[in-house]
Amino acid sequence: MSNVLIVAEHGAGAIRKATLHALAAGQEIARRTGGQVHAALLGKGLGPLAADLAAYGVEVHVADAPVLERPLAEAFAPVLADLAKAIGATHVGAAATAFGKDVLPRVAARLEAGMATEVLGFGGDGANVTFRRPMWAGNVLAEVEIATAVKVFTVRTTEFAPAQRAAAPGAVHAVAVSIDPAALRTRHAGFREVKSERPELTEARVVVAGGRGTKGDFAPIEALADALGAAVGASRAAVDAGWVPNDWQVGQTGKVVAPELYVAAGISGAIQHLAGMKGSKVIVAVNKDPDAPIFQFADYGLVADLFQALPALTAKVKAEK
């Protein structure tokens, strides 16, 4: 059997949306290899989450143990590698989130597998499924083959529509966990959540982003975002300056977004920023420099001071509602 194992993520008592995109990628591989999609759910006190996941028609393997309360790569990797072996998985994947990128390479190392990060799509059939992935900040697309028996990957969530609930739920199996907590050499010592009432950056229909041009004042960015029900993003320059949370960075080394509308204000359009937003359907740039590189990519460019243009646009949006 050439089964596909997708590693699920959860938070705040729900399966993360990113996982639904990864499940869809898993389903596509399964169609190409004739295998079945399984999902791994690890944590402590998972309760109804297993059924939530099984509703997508995949077989769910639940490892529920105190030692798995936090997603520590050192603890998760052996559980996932053993599970992959037990179900005869030929493909092991997850969403290319911070979690997926942290844990999956360790699973790959355990399975003596090669791995592809941020996969955008697949080609070929059977054991020869190939992976399409970006390199050099998305300036290059590579088609890669993984030469090992087991193939590990993470997928870019914006490239796969989320999986849909199935008519019949999958079976749920319990996984025995034999990790000795005392043997772990990683200890979780805190998490500072960046709380937000706004939609998740990677899922939002509209993103309004600000850069160094805001000079640290994100109020006009946030006001427009709130008028549009949008998420807020930022360039590296704005995050590095400590103006906004790290979690807001869009780009090669931050988040990759592909909303219907991306508004970039006071952002010059460096290649590393473009890598994170050029998949957006419509790009609007507001920049006071008519020669800013961003105008070469924006569908609509407005040469203006963002401190005047954004409040005017916000007022217009509110007036037209």
Partner 1 sequence: MALKILVTAKRVEDPESKIRVRPDGAGIVTEGVNYKLNPFDEIAVEEALRLKERHGGEVVVVSIGVDKSQTELRAALAMGADRAILVRHDGPLDPAVVSAMLQKIVEAEKPDLVLMGKQSIDDDQNQAGQYLAERLRWPQATFASKEASLESEAEQKKDPGVVLGADGRSLTVVREVDGGVETLVLALPAVVTTDLRLNKPRFASLPGIMKAKKKPLQELAAAALGVDLAPKVVVKRLSEPPARKGGVKVADVEELWKKLHEEAKAL
Ligand X SMILES: Cc1cc2nc3c(=O)[nH]c(=O)nc-3n(C[C@H](O)[C@H](O)[C@H](O)COP(=O)(O)OP(=O)(O)OC[C@H]3O[C@@H](n4cnc5c(N)ncnc54)[C@H](O)[C@@H]3O)c2cc1C
Q: Does 74 bind partner 1 (CB under 8 A)?
A: yes
- Rounded to an integer, what distance in angstroms lies between the CA atom of residue 144 and that of residue 236? 29
Indicate which of partner 1, ligand X, none lies near residue 241 (CB less than 5 to 8 Å, by partner kind): partner 1
User: Shortest distance, CB of residue 180 to ligand X, whole angstroms?
Assistant: 29
Q: Which of 209, 218, 230 is nearest to 273 (CA)?
A: 209
Interacting residues with partner 1 between 11 and 70 (CB under 8 A): 11
Instruction: Pick between residue 125 and residue 143 the one whose CB is nearest to partner 1.
Output: 143
Q: Which is nearer to partner 1, 48 or 242 (CB)?
A: 242
Residue 159 CB, shortest distance to ligand X, in Å, is: 18
Three-state DSSP at 232 gives: strand
Residue 37: count other Cβ atoms within 10 Å of its Cβ.
25
Site for ligand X in 247-306 (CB under 6 A): 249-254, 266-268, 270, 272-273, 276, 286-289, 292, 305-306
310 binds ligand X (CB under 6 A): no
How far are the Cα atoms of 136, 161, 204 from residue 214, in angstroms, in the given order?
28, 34, 22
Partner interacting with residue 125 (select from ligand X, partner 1, none; CB below 5-8 Å by kind): none
Q: How many other C-beta atoms are found inside a 10 Å radius of the C-beta of residue 113? A: 24
Comparing CB distances to partner 1, the nearer of 99 and 160 is 99
Q: Among partner 1, ligand X, none, what binds residue 35 when CB lies within 5 to 8 Å by partner kind? A: none
Q: Residue 64 pairs with which residues in a beta bridge? A: 43
Q: State the amino acid at position 267 in one-letter form.
A: I
Q: Which stretch binds partner 1 (CB under 8 A): 48-56, 82-90, 101-109, 155-163?
A: 101-109
Encoded tokens for 290: 């008519």
Q: Residues 1, 161, 174, 184: which binds partner 1 (CB under 8 A)?
A: 184
Q: What kind and span of H or E run contains 311?
A: helix 306-320
Contact positions with partner 1 (CB under 8 A) in 196-215: 206
Residue closer to partner 1 (CB basis): 109 or 166: 109
Whose CA is closest to 15, among 79, 91, 95? 95
Binding to ligand X (CB under 6 A) within 137-176 occurs at: 142
Sole residue written with tokens 């772990």: 184
Among 10, 21, 156, 236, the residue binding partner 1 under the rule CB under 8 A is 236
- CA dist 157 and 173 (Å) reads 26
Q: State yes or no: residue 241 binds partner 1 (CB under 8 A).
A: yes
Nearest Cα to Cα of residue 296 among 261, 321, 266, 271: 271
Query: What CA–CA distance (Å, rounded) separates 147 from 151?
Result: 8
Q: Interface residues with ligand X (CB under 6 A)?
A: 135, 142, 211-213, 235-238, 249-254, 266-268, 270, 272-273, 276, 286-289, 292, 305-307
